């Protein structure tokens, strides 16, 4: 009887004590940064960024390649007063250094920052 209890106890300990623990990877979510707060910003593909606007208007956001000064991407956005969030997708861009330029409807440069792609 004692042998049965010992065997049963060992069986239960090995069965429940030796199970592989399921560990889910923790993926850090990139924080939303004010893109025009500094002159140079490191970003990753799909990162959400924001900027502050004093006007509710239409702006043009351009990504310009640093060495050739060619426009890589251009998009019109409608802003609201206060914080405006958008995502930057850079997976298909070959260059590692870009300028992100914010222009108004008259093509006047409002803000500019250098992007370093990770």
Helix (H) / strand (E) containing 53: strand 47-53
- Using an 8 Å Cβ cutoff, are 41 and 97 in contact? no
Vertex 39 angle, CA 38 and 42, to 5°: 80
CATH of domain 25-117: 2.60.40
Q: How far apart are CA 10 and CA 26, in angstroms?
A: 34
pLDDT tens over the chain, length 118 residues: 778 788 878 777 777 666 667 777 777 666 778 899 999 999 989 899 999 999 999 999 999 999 999 999 999 999 999 999 999 998 888 889 999 999 998 999 999 999 999 8
Count of helices and strands (H, E) across the chain: 1, 8
End-to-end C-alpha distance for the chain, whole angstroms: 66
């Amino acid at each position: 009887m004692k042998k049965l209890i010992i065997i049963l106890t060992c069986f239960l300990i090995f069965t429940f004590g030796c199970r592989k623990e399921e560990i889910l990877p923790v993926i850090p979510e990139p924080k939303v940064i004010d893109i025009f707060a500094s002159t140079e910003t490191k970003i990753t593909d799909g990162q959400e960024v924001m900027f502050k606007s004093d006007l509710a208007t239409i702006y043009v956001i351009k990504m310009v390649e640093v060495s050739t000064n060619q426009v890589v991407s251009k998009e019109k956005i409608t802003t609201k007063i206060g914080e405006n969030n958008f995502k930057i997708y850079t997976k298909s861009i070959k260059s590692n250094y870009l300028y992100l330029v914010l222009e108004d409807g008259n093509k006047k440069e409002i803000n500019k920052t250098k992007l370093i792609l990770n």
